[in-house]
Amino acid sequence: MEKGETGVTDWAELSRELERLLHLRTHPIAFRRLEKAEELEKIPKVRKPHHFYTLCQAMGLVRIAGQTIGITKENLNVRCATILGLRAPHPGCDTERVGQFFETEEDTKRQYEAQCNIPLGNAEVVVMAPLASEKFDPEMILIFGTPAQMLMMLTGLQWRDYTRFQFYFSGEDSCADSIAECYNNGTTYLSIPCYGERVLGSVQDDELLLAIPSNTLDKMVAGIRSIAKGGLTYPITPVGLRLDMAPFMTKAYGPALVKRAVEGTDVTD
């Protein structure tokens, strides 16, 4: 992995390089679960909301506003906390979306059973910060970007030790398809941000979410650099901008006009 002078991963440098290579609009997010709320006190300038909160809002504050957010299971939306393995499912959560996202009780139960959750354990808190701030060592990195930026990141990961990626769409709660899948399986997952992420987290129409294990971020950045050497760079330039337009212009405006334009002579001569 990329190492700084202290011998630890240089998260700030990796984040800056990724943002430079792909022109990311928002900050990559460092994500970590903690066992005790007291551990938040060790993290500089962490904000601890005391009102009802959702994971979508927290991610938005980190990536857009650059804040460091720590959320306990007590003030995090129950469904979010369940997906993150902070608390057990509440009674009736498997049927609460009848008539909203699903037609029947059977449909909503089927979706809930298919959804990936991080197993319930000892963690009570989730903390997130801009990766470049180096507030803590992350377990995973969350990156929002356009489809073209996702293409570059996933292609960068395939540069060495090729793997075929698989993604899921289980419905609402797309953080289950990205964060929970990445945490449980230790590999990269792409997801389509759900309705809630757009309403509550300010996710835009053209944005997708990538969850990547932190120990593979350096591999991804190195891969993006490598494919750039072969001409695969971002922004992706349409080939039409590089073509000789003389044949088209000749047909549209006539050979005399094009000949004068190419030769640099005055078209009024």
pLDDT band at 246 (very low <50, low <70, confident <90, very high): confident
pLDDT at site 27? 97
Alpha carbon separation from 21 to 63, 193, 204, 225, 259 (Å, rounded): 17, 23, 21, 8, 40
Question: Measured on CA atoms in the order 243, 245, 247, 251, is the torsion positive or negative?
Answer: positive
Confidence (pLDDT) at 26:
97
Q: What pLDDT score was predicted for residue 265?
A: 63
- What pLDDT does 268 receive? 54
Q: Determine phi and psi for 87, rounding to 5 degrees.
A: -155, 160
Element (H, E) at 190: strand 189-191
Dihedral Cα 68, 72, 73, 78, nearest 10 deg: -40
**How far apart, in whole angstroms, are the C-alpha atoms of residue 20 and residue 12?**
12
Q: What is the pLDDT of residues 172-186, one digit of tens each?
A: 889 999 999 999 999
Neighbour tally for 38: CB within 10 Å: 10
Q: Report pLDDT digits (tens) over 96-154.
A: 888 888 899 899 888 888 899 999 989 999 999 999 999 999 999 999 999 999 999 99
DSSP 215-262: GGHHHHHHHHHHHHHTT--SSPPPGGGGS--HHHHHHHH-HHHHHHHH
- Which range among 28-37, 106-115, 240-249 shows the weakest confidence by mean pLDDT? 240-249
DSSP structure string for 12-56: HHHHHHHHHHHT-SS--EEEEEES-GGGGGGSTTEE---S-B-HH
- The pLDDT of residue 112 is 87
Sheet harboring 125-130: ordered strands across?
A: 46-47, 68-72, 125-130, 29-34, 140-145, 208-213, 189-191
pLDDT in tens, 50-98: 888 899 999 999 999 999 999 998 999 888 999 999 998 877 777 788 8
* End-to-end CA, the chain: 64
